[in-house]
Structure 1
């Protein structure tokens, strides 16, 4: 290898596989290159090895890492710090301005291309750029714009798949593609049957203002009205303003309750998820895609938008005759039909064909329906299939998505989204307000009152935060009292007796790989056992 002879893995805590070492060498030898490996095979580790070696060998002074979403910005930053002791700084829209200003002066930053464009003057200081998910660098995408501006000579693109029609243009921006196929014996043992991808679809400013106004009405309403306002929040964040517009034009209680906001609602962007839907279709090569939508008005609009693909629309037996459904299914099964748009049809016993791309536009409240939809992708067809989740952050749409994926995992359906990502998503849901109000430890009913969430919503949120290790609870004179991890010293001062019981025995069971570790005894015995385990 020409640049520094040997690769340095001295600070990398994961042992790289043979193909990862080969890929890192190619990236350092060529200066400008693209590594294409199936998802789940460790592309992020290749990027980390590349950055560490560039810095250690003095080949570059500053590195910028581009990620498509703020979730990935945080996730990759954490991975770099945890696995490579690399002090990378995350910069995205939720980071305070003063922190951003300091961050841009650091050696390695991880950011979104949109944020990079917003700080275009800073790009001239970077001599290396790592482009994760580099298949985005086409058309008018911010990725492409950054790569045209930045003077960085060292460039490494990472992707699971680059469609043939985009390869030449992306190679011009970044470098030559080196690809490992799913059938390659080096990588095939590490490839899952299917892959889940999250696409954030935020509401624009006007839609978010309306969402927050409805949320305020929800907080100050009766129990019956709350149910109606909850529907309105779901329609807007899950389906799009078009669904809410249809609802406010009817003679219903929902229309009556939202009458003060009617004119504002009618002015909103119809479908905030549409651009990401088109992006998903553009970035995947597929034989057949199924788009699941809940509202018929949305399904019909998507059908109109995608007419050039000759799609088929299946809206179920309740809204169509058996003859029409049969005709639609015949068309859906035809190999020339590439896109199927379905409402609840796929969950009503109608046998939709298998697909290699599943797009969930509407995140359903029912975890069972969520799993049923995945049945179309879990059938054995191609070696690799994809599920794209369109999710609206900071809304009830995110809550529904989180509930569904956690339920799916409990019943043994792994949707390929790791625990770190779930934690990041949880902090972008309305349930994050639970952490915000816990300035002091408090019981569940106090949290519900402070957040204006229902007790059932608080319970679901608490379960997730307890599982992630952000919160814990003790029993005090207030009952079951929830606290943040950083409240332990406070509770030790206030209730020392609750942390040193002498006459209580307990059993702790810790799942570890395929076996379980048991501890039983009094407080000191259990504490000693856990301490020894942590040391090991």
Structure 2
């Protein structure tokens, strides 16, 4: 027994969930703050006591992984050096050493995924694998690959998925269940009979605010403009109607259809892209106005004005020249002079002041979707002498630097210690991080997501009654978003019950059928051993025993470390390739001394045409490897507003001018198959070594000769070719008279004289100048 029972007092529902999940792969759905981690620790204690080995707990971020380690250190009777956290900041060799000596490991999934791909660690002895925030186990997220490898490698596998909400989409819930090999689901809500006694009541309030007249006027103008932009799209049948309430995803889908049609040669629909681009910009402007306020809209329109001034896009230029837009901007200027902003701002300040007057040491979180709004809220609160800080993600946005994980932790520590009262957070504060319990949570705007809504309100009501206030602007998409999240949350509970019944009925047969049972594997190994024994006897009887050479690593592929983010290396490993990970100067995959492969996602390929990187990369590939290859992954046409002929022109240049073959693959699996096949041909059939190059490849004789002649004054690469073609050798070029040089096209009397001067003048050592 490792868990210190003297420090814990499990609740009834935790004991029940533990008993049901300790021996079968389970998904536990439990609201934030109700002790999912303790359930994981109870199961970890049971599995370690029964089998020994290791426990691995994965969390999406480094702060959360470190937080889990602290929890294990506090409750487990193990030496500190046996409980460790692995993240990408630790050197690979050091990670390998830590893995070997640890009993409990908390880690970020990308780190474990990378170490598995390159064979640095094995999951054979892991007796429990915990996926925190298990709703992420979809698509290409690292959780999916790790779970698959774990079920293949582990001697005594057990998976535990933890989440406050897996979402409200049935297909997504089923995908999570399949990807994590779930056999059993445990669901609890705040209203579950065994949970209710432990949940402090959360008081929900939704406060509607009335938009002022100037708001309504600006909104009316923008909606009218949006309707005009949508009409041509509706007439073409690309969207259902020209209503300004059309969802943004419909407008985006229309753009994809237009691009796809243009790629097929239907250029007549190209003019519709102009209206689609205008509609998207207007839709975003209305959303900012309704949910964030006049200052957010002003900032966005200022950005569009700068774009129009630079003549960046036709749609932006026409948008800003529209008389109606000029009127809307005039109204925004007027509102600024009158000091009018979103009424939510005043209401929010009123709520915070009221809370602080009741309890000056209150902790309050304000959630907002936009960084700009978070910045504005903090500024307003500080002006009111209310101590507040902004809490955003790591990514740097335009003119807005993100917060490092270290800085995030510092801010949370200060908040926990009561150094300031109000934390103004974007979505980064919703998931997983141990945000101290607060007295008041304010949603500056509702979110149309069940997961995010549950995560946000889980910040309060853990140990004492909490209060959640949702601010909504009357008659705007705020109201639609609120009711959407409420509907999705109810839908999620019923879907979970439905999926749980499905899992029970199927007993996971359809989901786990493709995993080879351990018993069968062991029997297969026994059969192989029995077959091999007679062969050994035969070898013993031979007069001269054969020499058994150690089997080579097989197909070796050098992979650029940045490619580990893609699915290709994982699939290559499954195909049987041995991967060597390096930071490569040229290419993404090296398969021989001659062949380097550059993989480009379709979107990146188009972006590299736009920003001019493509031909620089082609040049470097050709300089380093004699037979480079480019593989483009995904559908190339219809994803960006780039004319199909521009794409075709780039492909033609690569193939004809640079002599680089271009292959097309529909997905990562096909890319990996191409790479493996090319590597197999190079290494097995052609017996080529794998060589990583960063320097230029050895020059041919002709290249060396041209390089020497190019050293002459005013002689370009083209002129060097002409000279060598005319005279036949470097020696004849250097011994030719002025009159003979002038017979070559492009060489006049002046150039001929300068060439002869350089060749015939005596060499004199230059004196060093004192500086």
What band does the TM-score fall into relative to the shorter chain?
0.3 to 0.5
Q: Which is strand-richer, 1 or 2?
A: 1
- Look at both structures and tell me which one has the larger radius of gyration over its CA atoms: 2
TM-score, normalised by the number of residues in structure 1: 0.43
